[in-house]
Structure 1
Amino acid sequence: MEYHIFPEQQLRSFTENIFKAMGCSDEHAQLAADVLIKADLRGIDSHGVARLTGYVRLWEKKRINTKPHIKVVHETNSTATVDGDAGLGLIVAPWAMQVAIRKAEECGSGWVAVRNSNHFGIAAYHTLMAVEQDMIGFAVTNASPLVAPTFSTERMLGTNPICYAFPAENYPPMVVDMATSTAANGKLEIAQRKNTEVPNGWIQDKEGNTTIDPHGLKAGGSLLPLGSDREHGSHKGFGLSATVDILSAVLSGASYGPWAPPFVAFMDPLPNQPGQGLGHFLGAMRVDGFRPKADFKAHMDNWIKRFKEAKPINENQKVIIPGEPELAAEKDRKINGIPLIEAVVKDMNEVAAKFGLPIL
């Protein structure tokens, strides 16, 4: 597989220019690009600039508003509901997290439900905004229905990620960022571009049989909940995904379950939408609302240290703290550049040419 390596700033400038060509303001273009580049830096290639062409195609179908009027439509002292005005989730979610942080500063915690939004990139971007304020961050979102609930072949739920981020003192933040399906759809897209098989247990075909074909979804199959099947705990993944869907969409007034708008331009949302767009749910909790900040962060350090010292099965494979691989990737890629496969570069250059912009 051929990779092209790009300096962070080159990809950042390229991405900003694409968003500006779509009609985003300079400020919004910079923020949207920052969310995507953060994913690539952290090694989450499925949610980085590889997604850029998808946003462009949704905009071309008039499903994304690049000049949104984002607003709070309902609130209490510690909670709010935000309408994203069909804006980029890359813009709407950080705006909503800022609301959650302000409410946390005043009340100890802040919780914001979002409707009428779009795909918001990596959840960790938003939770780390809270960590920067010495708060615990929480972010979930519903997504395109690609996942079948346990005992079904029908796509009813998205990959519906859950993310928590916890500040520490001398260690980096602990970041738990995971899909509630066996794999994120973006990983399938990468496998399709590489033309490689996917692990057993990721996908089932339209009859409910396991398949390793990365094109299994296009053939009418579905992703499986975390756990793969009932014997391995898929009902737990189903339960987590359902919780995300309800917090993100039923609570906010977004579309939920099989009605969640797809992140592909060639598929229109189902008719009779029960809500508006995709939904998110974001939270920020002040650590000092529970105990002195210094005490918590010292004990987080102790927690991380002890788990890193846990006796390994194999001396060559130590326990990995959630967030460590992403941090290692970020340190490396900031120095050595961001790798993109040929298919992604080709797609991005085709979009650039369409807008009359310089190619990579």
Structure 2
Amino acid sequence: MTRVNHEKLTRFVSRSFEKLGVTSGDAEIAAKVLVAADLRGVDTHGVIRFSPQAWYVKWLTEGSMTARPNIRVISESSSTALIDGDRGMGMVIGHRAMELAIRKAKESGIGMVGVRNSRHYGMSAYYAMLALPHDMIGIAMTNASRQVVPTFGREARFGTNPMCYSVPADQELPFVLDMATTTAAAGKLELAARQGKSIPAGWALNEQAEATLDPRMAQKARRLLPLGGSREGGSHKGYGLAILVEILCGVLTGTMTALNADQDPRGHFFGAIRVDTFRPVAEFKRDMDRLIRELKSTPPIEGQERVYVAGEIEFETAEERAERGIPLLPSVLKGLREVSEHMGVPYDLE
């Protein structure tokens, strides 16, 4: 794989978005969200989705995603709001919605913002982590296209419905739990297919609703399994979490992706909680450090060097990739070169 400087990559993606009619400010936000995913090692939600045939470029080109949306607040209270995204880029809408949640939390102690009529917003952690500099707990979640079967089910009825919670600490790294409610995110099927690898058992079913290890067959079938894989493995818990996300992002906002025939638009839900409305921030962060250190002090099992806490691997990956560059697959670079040719944006990544 070729390593690419993250700042160059961000500039390239931002300029490409501008060529597609997105304002410079919104283009910069969207590019930062995508590259942040690659930096943190969440390669399924980064520039792998940035080619003329995939997602954002395709949707903006065909007009199914609004380049310059009229994002507006539909209803509002001192601590809550509902935003209509006008089918704009989820990254831009999500950024604004999370900023609004943080502003409300500063005033009221807590801010909860729902979003309707949006599109795919990328990596959930980006939004939840916006709360960290404000000494707040951040929450971000979204519903997704219908490709997950309920426990005991044969057909897909809801999406991977990811969620993220970010919590500040003091000397330790923040706790950042960013997870799909499936055993594996849908993007991991594509990554496995591009790398020519099989997928583990418990990830997905084929079109006959039988277990499969073939990522391309799984992609075609669109029958991912809830977190746990089977009832014996606890998939009813993943199923329940996914529907909870659908309720907050879909039923509460009026954008139930699980019931939409065309799988779009999407609904999101964001939250910010001011720590100091419960206890002094310094005390809270001190106890977060104590908790994290206790977890990390757990003796590892044979074959493993250490025990991690949620978000730790991603922070370490981001540090390494910021220094050495983001490793990109040849197929991803090919897609970026095609964007350069189509958009007339100079290609300086290799």
Q: What TM-score, normalized by structure 2, do the two folds share?
A: 0.96
Q: Is the 8 A contact 2:205 2:221 kept in 1?
A: no
Partner amino acid, structure 2, of 1:334: A
1:182 pairs with 2:183: yes
- CA separation in 2, counterparts of 1:83 and 1:11? 30
Q: Is residue 346 from structure 1 mapped to residue 334 from structure 2 by the alignment?
A: yes
Shift of the 296–315 alpha-carbon distance from structure 1 to 2, 3 Å rule, reads farther
Q: 1:289 Cα deviation (Å)?
A: 1.0
Percent identity (aligned)? 44
Task: Give deviations 1:55-81, integer Å, cap 9, x for gaps.
Answer: 011112211111011111001111110
Q: Bigger shift: 59-68 or 294-303?
A: 59-68
C-alpha deviation, 1:194, in angstroms? 1.4
Conservation of the 8 A alpha-carbon contact between 1:35 and 1:125: yes
Q: In the aligned structure 1, how far is the partner of 2:243 from the partner of 2:160?
A: 10
Secondary structure of the 2:139 match is strand
Superposed, 1:60-75 pairs within 5 Å as: 60-75=61-76
Cα displacement string for residues 69-124 of structure 1 (whole angstroms, at most 9, x for unaligned residues) = 11110011111100011110010001000110111011110000100111111111
Match of 1:80, SS?
strand
Any residues of structure 2 matched to 1:35-114 within 5 Å, and which?
A: 35-53=33-51, 54-114=55-115
C-alpha distance after superposition, 1:233-266 (max 9, x if no partner): 111100000000110011011133142754xxxx
How far residue 315 of structure 1 moved from its aligned partner, in angstroms, is 7.0
Segment of structure 1 superposing worse, 191-200 or 284-293: 191-200
Q: Within 1, Cα distance between the matches of 2:262 and 2:295?
A: 40
Q: Which moved more, 1:283-292 or 1:311-320?
A: 311-320
Q: Which amino acid aligns with 2:211?
A: T
Decide whether the 8 Å contact of 1:148 with 1:223 is kept in 2: yes
The answer as to whether partners of 2:2 and 2:327 remain within 8 angstroms in 1 is: yes
**1:317, distance to aligned residue in structure 2 (A):** 2.8
CA distance in 2, matches of 1:89, 1:253: 16
Unmatched 5+ residue regions in structure 2?
none
Structure 2 residue corresponding to 1:29, chosen from 23, 27, 42: 27
Per-residue CA deviation, residues 255-302 of structure 1 (Å, 9 max, x unaligned), is 33142754xxxxxx5xxxxxxx10000000000111111110110011
Task: Determine helix, strand or coil for the equivalent of 2:88.
Answer: coil
Query: What is the RMSD of the two structures over their aligned residues, measured on CA atoms?
Result: 1.3
- Structure 1 residues 10-29: aligned runs within 5 Å: 10-29=8-27
SS state at 1:112 partner: strand
Alignment partners' CA distance in 1, 2:8 and 2:120: 24
CA distance in 2, matches of 1:237, 1:334: 33
Change (3 A) 1:142 1:258: same
Equivalent position of 2:134 in the other structure:
133
8 Å CA contact 1:153–1:221 kept in 2: the answer is: no
CA contact (8 A) 2:85 2:118 kept: yes
Answering whether residue 318 of structure 2 is matched by residue 336 of structure 1, we say no
TM alignment of 1:257-276, pairs within 5 A? 257-259=258-260, 261-262=262-263
Amino acid at match of 1:8: H
Deviations 1:123-152 (A, max 9, x none): 110011011111000011001111111111
Matched position secondary structure for 2:332: helix
Q: Is the 8 A contact 1:41 1:338 kept in 2?
A: yes
Counterpart AA for 1:356:
G
In structure 1, what is the Cα distance between the partners aligned to 2:222 and 2:342? Answer: 33
* Aligned pairs for 1:312-331 within 5 A: 312-314=300-302, 316-331=304-319
Question: What SS is found at the alignment partner of 2:152?
Answer: coil
SS at 1:222 equivalent: coil
Q: How many pairs does the alignment contain?
A: 345
- Bigger shift: residues 190-199 or 86-95: 190-199
- Counterpart position of 2:224: 223
Deviation larger for 199-208 or 306-315: 306-315
3-state SS, counterpart of residue 215 of structure 1: helix
- Aligned with 1:231: secondary structure? coil
CA contact 1:261–1:278 (8 Å) conserved in 2 = no
Rounded to whole Å, the distance in 1 between the matches of 2:343 and 2:69 is 21
Equivalent position SS for 1:232: coil
Matching residue of 1:273: none
TM-score, normalised with respect to structure 1: 0.93
Q: Which runs of 5+ in 1 are unaligned?
A: 263-268, 270-276
Q: What residue identity is the alignment partner of 1:302?
A: R
Aligned residue number for residue 162 of structure 1: 163
Question: Which letter maps to 1:292?
Answer: P
Mapped to 2, the partners of 1:286 and 1:222 lie a distance apart of 39
Letter in 1 for 2:323: I
- The corresponding residue for 2:146 is 145
Letter in 1 for 2:28: Q
1:260 and 1:144, CA in 2 relative to 1: closer, same or farther beyond 3 A? farther
Contact 2:4 2:326 in 1 (8 A): yes
Select 1:279's aligned residue among 258, 264, 267.
267
